[in-house]
Amino acid sequence: MLKGRHLIGSEDFTIRELEEIFKLADEIIEDQDSFLDSCHGKILGTLFYEPSTRTRLSFESAMLRLGGNVIGFSEAASSSVKKGESIPDTVRTVGSYADIIAMRHPKEGAPRLASFYSPVPIINAGDGGHQHPTQTLTDLLTIRNTKGQFSNLTIGLCGDLKFGRTVHSLIKALSKYENNSFVLISPQELKIPDYIKSDVLDKNNIKYIEVERLEDVMSSLDILYMTRVQKERFFNEADYIRLKDSYILDSKKMDLARKDLTVLHPLPRVNEISYEVDTDPRACYFQQVKFGMYVRMALMLKLLGVR
């Protein structure tokens, strides 16, 4: 069903198609050795126009563990982009060498533009403050394994909700499932964009509240999704310095939470989660990293149409 498709936004796949990917990811987790040569002879092209650690290495390790190879660049300055090459020309060129492309770009909409010209599937690995659908697949697989369901959940999203592309993608994805509600926790300056509220939450009659104090809502949450305040999205450093310490999750706040809370974070963190929380069994963000590799393995197998 997914062979040859692009993944640009978290809304691109139906619930049924997502379930296909998650079931395959579960098979990979159960018996990774069975998939060692699944992508033998296949090449992943990684076009990363801005820095990345987890996402880029996750894609690369996923393809290598499937028996394939990787080509690409980790910064635009090391490619012909520095000479002025356009996105359409870059993807048409790399698409002549690779079977599938993972692309990260600071400009919103760049991967969608690339998909119009690419001869191979394009996977959006993050575009500015817009979306990050493979992080959403990672988040969903983690939720599936820790909560056992995608419905009837109260999800707290905390920190930079304005520029946080992972937050935008996750809201869109979880809005497909029944009886979920959202608690949006941020300072006024970093509130969720109006288009997310109007086009996703309000349009689908999904319950949500906006608050500024994390302590006031900890006890009501099934999932707490922490985010860092992103320095690279600010034009004014003074604003960043003023807001960067708005929320810090520590053991005292964890004492207010349910025993079965799941704490997620797309990483990297700066100081928004205290290191003392890492040993709490409810802290699942490093499990999340591992799930990210498995779900990208499953996604590429599906888009390439190979087992």
In this structure, is residue 261 part of a structural domain?
yes
For residues 127 and 141, state if they share a domain: no
Q: State the CATH number of the domain containing residue 237.
A: 3.40.50.1370
For residues 95 and 180, state if they share a domain: no
- Residue where one domain finishes, among candidates 131, 155, 183: 131
Query: Residue 55 catalytic?
Result: yes
Could you tell me if 9 and 169 are in contact, meaning their C-beta atoms sit under 8 angstroms apart?
A: yes
Task: Indicate which residue of 46, 55, 136, 146 is catalytic.
Answer: 55
In this structure, is residue 190 part of a structural domain?
yes
In this structure, is residue 23 part of a structural domain?
no
pLDDT in tens, 249-294: 999 999 999 999 999 999 988 889 999 999 999 999 999 999 999 9
Task: Identify which of 278, 119, 146, 128 has the alpha carbon closest to the alpha carbon of residue 223.
Answer: 146
In this structure, is residue 240 part of a structural domain?
yes
CA gap 299, 295 in Å, rounded: 6
Listed in sequence order, the residues at least 6 apart from 22 whose beta carbon sits closer than 8 Å to its beta carbon are: 140, 141, 144, 295, 298
In the chain, the number of structural domains is: 2
For residues 158 and 126, state if they share a domain: no
Query: Residue 83 catalytic?
Result: yes
For residues 123 and 230, state if they share a domain: no
Predicted local confidence at residue 238, as pLDDT: 63
pLDDT in tens, 69-95: 999 998 877 777 778 899 999 999 999
Domain that holds residue 262: 134-288
Task: Indicate which residue of 105, 132, 162, 244 is catalytic.
Answer: 132
For residues 122 and 142, state if they share a domain: no
What are the structure tokens assigned to 36, written together?
A: 């060692």
Task: Identify which of 92, 159, 104, 106 has the alpha carbon closest to the alpha carbon of residue 133.
Answer: 104
pTM for this one?
0.91
For residues 193 and 105, state if they share a domain: no
Is the alpha carbon torsion for 285, 290, 296, 299 positive or negative?
negative
Listed in sequence order, the residues at least 6 apart from 142 whose beta carbon sits closer than 8 Å to its beta carbon are: 262, 264, 284, 287, 288, 291
Residue 56 confidence (pLDDT) above 60:
yes
Query: Residue 262 catalytic?
Result: no
Binding residues for L-aspartate: 83, 165, 228
Could you tell me if 74 and 52 are in contact, meaning their C-beta atoms sit under 8 angstroms apart?
A: yes
What are the structure tokens assigned to 200, written together?
A: 């996703």
Query: Residue 6 catalytic?
Result: no
Tell me the pLDDT of the chain averaged across its residues: 92
